[in-house]
Structures are given as structure tokens and as C-alpha cells.
Amino acid sequence: MEPDLMLEFVAWSFKESIPDSPSALIDAISVYYVEINEPEPFDKKLLALTSPLKRLDVGYTYFLPKTNEKNKLIEWERIPMIVRIDGKGKFLTYADILWQLHTAVYPYLKDEDHHYFEGLEFSGKNKEGIAEYEMWLGN
């Protein structure tokens, strides 16, 4: 069964450079918690837990500036994006999910205002039966 919420307890920024592996991500989050003065240290065991998912799709919105011929901003265009997270037949750990997600969204979100990860919310299953989640982003 798909969890309604995932990783909502993790503070992280997609501006951070991409760690080399899911385990390196866990260590990077621990350092990040110190840098942002989180009152409680990060519990590394939480991300090492195995999720009930082998695959999932994560949707989020990316914003592109629309400009006129004088290069003045007219509006922001909302671009819906979907990231496929795949355990290649194995159950994903929560670190696997967040690491694959970070790797996929980094080029789009590293310079955006809304780059703070705030969790994933289950939104249903697609036609292929794959769980779909919406990513919460903060600024």
C-alpha cells in the first residue's frame, strides 16, 4: 500500500550539489541540518528504511520566464514535470527515492526560488498502475 505522505519530515534543498549516492545524500542531509540550525539532529535511520514502492512518478511544477522582445519579463509559464523513480525491480529505500529525485530535478530547481523539498503526497495511480506523488516545494 502506498503511503499518503512520504519524506515530509526531511528538510533539504535542491540547490545543494548532487551527492554521489543515496548513502552520501543521508550524510549530506545530516550536515545540512547543522547548517540550517535545526534543533534536532537528523535521524539517518529514517532514510535508510525501505519503502513499499519499487517505482513511482513524482510530479512538480517548474517555472520558466516569458519575456517580450525587449527581454522584459511578461509572466511566468508553469511547466508540469514528472520524474520516474525506479528501483529496477527492488523496493526503494527512502534515500533512493530522494536521491533519484534530486538527481533529476537539480538542473531545473537549483536556481529557482521554490527549491526546498517539503515532502511527497500520494495523488493516485497512473494508467500503468504506478503510484503518482506530487512534490511539495517551498521557498
Q: Give 103-131 pLDDT, tens digit per residue.
A: 999 999 998 888 999 999 999 999 999 99
Nearest to 13 by CA among 80, 78, 102: 102
Q: Is the pLDDT of residue 64 over 90?
A: no
CB 134 within 8 A of CB 57: no
Query: What's residue 77's pLDDT?
Result: 80
| pLDDT tens digits for range 27-37 | 999 999 999 98
What's the rounded mean pLDDT across residues 10-23? Answer: 95
Tally of CB atoms within 10 A around 60: 23
Tens digit of pLDDT for each residue in 77-87? 888 999 999 99
- What pLDDT does residue 121 have? 98
Q: State the maximum Cα–Cα separation within the chain, in Å, rounded to a whole number.
A: 52
Integer-rounded Cα Rg, in Å, for the chain is: 16
Burial profile 94-126: b = 16 or more Cβ within 10 angstroms, e = fewer: bbbbbbbbbebbeebbeeeeebbbebbbbeeee
Q: Which long-range contacts (CB under 8 A, 24 or more apart) does 38-44 make?
A: 38/11, 42/10, 42/11
pTM: 0.90
The reported pLDDT for the residue numbered 24 is 97
